[in-house]
Structure 1
Amino acid sequence: MDDQPGSAAASAGGGRRVVRGTVDDLAAAVSELDPDAGGLTGTTVESIVLAGARVLGGRVTGLRLRDVVADQAVLAGIVLDGGGATRVRVTGGRVSGTVWIRGELNDVVFDQVRADGLALRACLLRRARFVNCDLSGLDMTDTRLDHVRFEDCDLSSAIFTGTQIAAAQLRGCRFDGVVGADGLAGAEVDSSDLASLAGPMAAALGISVV
């Protein structure tokens, strides 16, 4: 059951530990794999695979992820402040309700992930790709996108208020109920997606459709 804490497996360099609960339990597993890590706050976690993880809730400050793979993991309701992610891939699983504030994400991929209610606020995303994800309710307030792609994603009710786009492409996405659609200025949007974007864009520009 995705809504209940379950077992998680963290592995690196052949080590493995089953984890249950929140980020505190995950921190204990990481410390066992790397005694010098000293927990998750303000540290760098690298070259780790989270296979089938079930981690719900918790708060982390200054965490940096490098060369991390999350496969069919549930990492939901977690709050991260600062830090960043480099060469991180999330395949399947769920990150619903997770919040990352002031993070820097480089070379990240989310593939077929349930990420409803995900918030990436005041973040910087470079070379990021979201493929076939449920991103309904995504919050990208004041976030900068630099070479970011959204492919076949549900962006219903997403928030783009204050979003800054250096380069972004959106293909095959849903935009029903999007807030702050003018934050998508500068993005490349597939012509077939314009119908669902027309209403939110009109609202952002103060245009009344009668």
Structure 2
Amino acid sequence: MKGARRPEVRLPPLEPFRDGELEPDGDYDGLEFREEDLTGQDGAGARFMDCALTGCALDETRLHHARILDSVLMGLRGVGTDLAESTLRDVEVVEARLGGVQLHGAVLERVVIRGGKIDYLNLRKARLKDVVFEGCVLVEPDFGGARLERVEFVDCALKGVDLTGVTLAEVDLRQAAELDIARGVDRLSGAVISSGQLLDLAPVLAAQLGIRVEAGG
């Protein structure tokens, strides 16, 4: 199995963001957004290139169809952030505390999500390639209909994950700290799990296959 290719983000000297508010289809290049309150702002279709977003509030921030490239997102917080159909390429997401993030239909390539906690992450019909979830907690993430290729879960807790209709290719779950599959256990083809995880999943797999397990007579 090929491991995921991780991003190698090397930011240039950055200028502070001084515009106050995001703009739809805005073009942000080489900027540092530090402790900015972007609550409710509309940056749909915006492009962020060689940027750092640190400690920003993203409650209900609209970033639909945005492009985030060669950037570092650190300590983001917020509920209901809309990143649907966005593109994240060569991006590091560090210690995010987010809830209800909309990433359905998004494209993630060479992305690391390290630390933090994300509740109700919506990745339905998204495409993930060379993505690493590391040391983070994902509560009820929804991968319904998504395609995952060369994706790794390292020391990551997956709680109540939905894999309905997902397509997996070279997905490594062996190092997941917790693997709790709520739906879609039948879609694990293309993934690698550990022997211990197989034992944990045995009751769910048996139920999926219609096998009744009873104590010996």
Asked whether the two chains share a fold, i.e. TM above 0.5, the reply is: yes
Name the residue aligned to 2:190: 186
User: 1:57 and 1:192, CA in 2 relative to 1: closer, same or farther beyond 3 A?
Assistant: same
Taking the aligned partners of 1:161 and 1:175, their CA distance within structure 2 comes to 15
Q: Secondary structure at the match of 1:178?
A: strand
Name the residue aligned to 2:73: 70
User: 1:76 and 1:205, CA in 2 relative to 1: closer, same or farther beyond 3 A?
Assistant: farther
The normalised TM-score by structure 2 is 0.77
Kept in 1: contact 2:92–2:111 (CA 8 A): yes
Name the residue aligned to 1:202: 206
Name the residue aligned to 1:115: 118
The one-letter code of the counterpart of 2:201 is L
**What are the equivalent positions in structure 2 for 1:1-210 lying under 5 Å apart?**
13-17=14-18, 25=21, 27-28=22-23, 40-173=43-176, 174-210=178-214
CA radius of gyration, larger in: 2
Q: Once the two structures are superposed, what CA deviation does each residue of 1:113-148 show, in whole Å capped at 9, x if it has no partner?
A: 201211111011000000111112010000001100
The one-letter code of the counterpart of 2:47 is T
Aligned length: 190
User: 1:91 and 1:49, CA in 2 relative to 1: closer, same or farther beyond 3 A?
Assistant: same
The normalised TM-score by structure 1 is 0.79
Could you say what the CA RMSD is over the residues aligned between the two structures, in angstroms? 2.6
Unaligned runs of 5+ in 1: 1-11, 20-24
Shift of 1:33: 5.6
More helix by proportion, 1 or 2?
1
Unaligned runs of 5+ in 2: 1-12, 30-41
The one-letter code of the counterpart of 2:204 is P
Taking the aligned partners of 2:117 and 2:172, their CA distance within structure 1 comes to 20
Percent of aligned pairs sharing the same letter: 29
